[in-house]
Amino acid sequence: MNLPADNEETMTNVRAEKVREVARLATRTGRARSGEFLAEGPQAVREAMKAHIAREAEGKDAVVRSIFATDDCLDRYPEFEEMVAKAPGVRARLVSPEVLAAMADTVTPQGIVAVCVIPEVKLEEVLAAKPRLVAVLCRVQDPGNAGTILRAADAAGADAVVITNGSVDIYNPKAVRSTVGSLFHLPIVSNVALSEAIAALKGQGSTILAADGYGTADLDALQDASAARRTGGKFESAEGDPVLEEPTAWLFGNEGQGLNEDELSRADHRVAVPLYGIAESLNVSTAATVCMYASARAQRRG
């Protein structure tokens, strides 16, 4: 089986410079040097290629630089050949299973990886599209949590994710895996200071809500108030409570400490997901999902 974009031989030398180059994308330095990251496995590569083909059709920058796949994998997933045929800019190479294993960070990369471009999305571009729902990560350290929040933001229909300085690199292999392709679905702004992000979001008209276990506004009360407004019901809101239907940016904090005082002080409101049992807190990615879905529910039916 041939990858149509390229007729070179199958790569079999695990010590080739190209193999080492790809493997280095597992490290922050490697990614910084090349401006690239690695998507691993059929689902991630499929989402990357879909995004690439869609963006190329709009005359925008490339998403994928190259694909490396084993023969077996292409037999199993014939759609990749079709995709590569539609993306002449993507360099595709057949590799041996050993070469693929040497390139990948995962133990079982399932036969395919893609070298992708780290996009440089500016905050101003995101704001120009008048976002109504944005997730802002503040010192989220665990790559699995960061990736899961991004996936949930995508599912809830958020317009963008902002990853402020001090958070984990979302292009780290574990974070990329946790996004399950969502990385390619919505704009991600990285390398931005929290103060700058909040000033810009406020300037654009977003209400800043801090997800905070000790917050005074109760997310369930906000949702009931919103549902009552939508269905003509009666619900007494506390004075000054935020309105979920309005354009909103949610701040999500560090998994151990939550948002710190400085971060909290920059928000317009502190909102708690109520705890009905004995648990002292929720995992940051599950709390973030509940918060973003509360906004999505309020905004979609507003």
Is residue 275 a contact residue for its own copies (CB under 8 A)? yes
What CA–CA distance (Å, rounded) separates 164 from 180? 21
Q: Which residue has the tokens 């399950």?
A: 180
- Tell me how far, at minimum, the Cβ of 232 lies from its own copies, in Å: 5
Q: Are 172 and 149 in contact (CB under 8 A)?
A: no
Q: Which is nearer to its own copies, 113 or 219 (CB)?
A: 219
With binding defined as CB under 8 A, does residue 283 bind its own copies? Answer: yes
Residue from 30, 42, 97, 157 binding its own copies (CB under 8 A): 157
Residues of span 163-202 touching its own copies by CB under 8 A: 178, 180-182, 185-186
Neighbours of 91 (CB within 10 A): 17
Half-sphere exposure of 274 (CA within 13 A, CB side): 9
5 or 186: whose CB is closer to its own copies? 186
Report the nearest approach of its own copies to the CB of residue 295 (Å).
10
Least distance (Å) between residue 155 CB and its own copies: 4
β 207-211/133-137 pair status: unpaired
Selected binder of its own copies within 81, 91, 105, 235 (CB under 8 A)? 235
The answer to the question of residue 45 lying near its own copies (CB under 8 A) is no
How many angstroms separate the CA atoms of 261 and 267, rounded? 10
| Beta carbon nearer to its own copies, 15 or 234 | 234
Q: Are 143 and 172 in contact (CB under 8 A)?
A: yes
Check residue 151 for interaction with its own copies (CB under 8 A): yes
Please tell me the count of residues contacting its own copies according to CB under 8 A. Answer: 47
- Please say whether the dihedral angle defined by the alpha carbons of residues 121, 246, 218 and 276, taken in this order, is positive or negative: negative
Tokens for 296? 């999505």
Contact 209, 244 (CB under 8 A): no
Would you say 256 and 200 are in contact if contact means Cβ atoms under 8 Å apart? no
- Residue 117 binds its own copies (CB under 8 A): no
Distance CA 34, CA 29 (A): 9
Which of the stretches 17-25, 59-67, 90-98, 150-158 binds its own copies when contact is defined by CB under 8 A?
150-158
Compute φ and ψ for 277, nearest 5 degrees: -105, -140
CA angle, 144 then 219 then 215, to 5°: 80
Q: Considering the complex, what minimum distance in angstroms separates the CB of residue 157 from its own copies?
A: 3
Determine which residue in the list 167, 204, 254, 289 makes contact with its own copies, applying CB under 8 A: 289
Question: Collapsing DSSP states into helix, strand and coil, what is residue 1?
Answer: coil
Kindly write out the interface string for residues 215-234 of this chain, putting x where it contacts its own copies by CB under 8 A and - elsewhere.
-----x--xx--xx-xxxxx
Cβ proximity to its own copies: between 206 and 285 the closer is: 285
- Would you count residue 247 as binding its own copies (CB under 8 A)? no
Shortest Å, Cβ 224 to its own copies: 6
3-state secondary structure of 89: coil
Binding site residues, its own copies, CB under 8 A = 144, 148, 151-158, 178, 180-182, 185-186, 220, 223-224, 227-228, 230-235, 273, 275-283, 285-287, 289-290, 293, 296-297, 300-301
